[in-house]
Chain A
């Protein structure tokens, strides 16, 4: 049985492996939409209470708290604000592009700093012991508290505001890269390092031919997390910066005018989420180009 089953599943798998993740994405999307709308239906049926009780549901489900999915999607095709020619969708797309560029700079800076720190920690255990607590502490500091300070410093140093925003994104994204770089560079077995020793290899050769290739799958795991983190960092950084064009500012504005158009805030949240997905997917694509299939960490 098992002998014949294996090749069959392989044949099915090979044809659909490309489509399957995308299909899964839409199935989950439908499920989420169903849950959202189902919850609203339930609330309508019971007058806002948990069924058969007098206790109200934990989240109110009226159209102001939870607009219909159709309204949220529909709002994308309506003007972004009264009298504007541009649709909300196009408006948010432009804002996402601005945020993406800032996040990309932050991600790149974070990746370089993160890799550099990882390298330093592997080379010097003294540096690792001394610096690691501070690196960990940097990630537990509330970002919302330091973001305004960074913006202020950038202003004082008469740097463009987007630099401050990218710096905040880098601040969030370097950490996963550091952790994974350290793990990856240390991943070769003692036998593998002894093999290189037996070849009388230079430390540089061992680094380039053994440690770096061994670290790549780990590094990309770190980069994926960093990609998501850099989007979060950018949006949080945009809030106090007063930069008018990014997603952060739109989220703030739509939150402010929430009562007159709740679906706009939800639309902006949706775009933030999509931006994260796109960014992480781009990193996954790069990973695919760099690392052969057999060595990839399954997603």
Chain B
């Protein structure tokens, strides 16, 4: 008999990961927050668990304790963060830290620093009818340029939820560090399906003081550095990754986009995609 009151195994970029808890409170959260992840019967490579203690809850990865004693909702947020960490750890594809959206199977990736406006832009795109690929990672095969969705929840702050028109009652759990996990379904969107191909990299730079929108084409050499600097586990096989980044940069277009309002930026992205046909 299982030690867990709740357990689910999801396949994330080909990596089966179990999330489990000895308390049943996990179930409604998973139903709500992880509903766009793909369940699998495969044997998990790792188990992330939330375990109760007399004073609260801790998050674990297999038998390694990975958090202090926390309130349950905080331990859940920690578990979500560990889910991402372990996906990146075990993922066999090249993964770049980026928000990713698609239309008609054509993918635009938006790498950027934290606070650059990636998540808000992704959420706004999904609200505007783009398909959701990921809030966190561009995972792709650099030979075929085929992208694999990684539809973890989008983490956006309260202001961003208002900007994308999300009613407060739709927010699933108590915010952790002022961020809310939002699913594409919450935004009226869907997760991208079918063959997806990387076409462009757009570097978002949110600047509340920007007057309108500014777009500057990226040189391909800049694309190489952008792809590498945002690569997860960059130091692992780094020279091979350099070769791959050069190869990919020669096959895609790039744009730096400075904007104050995400909706304006989405219009530019629509224009970028229209240049590729279908």
Chains A and B are bound partners: no
The interface of chain B, by Cβ under 8 A from chain A, is none
Give me the interface of A with B, judged by CB distance under 8 Å. Answer: none
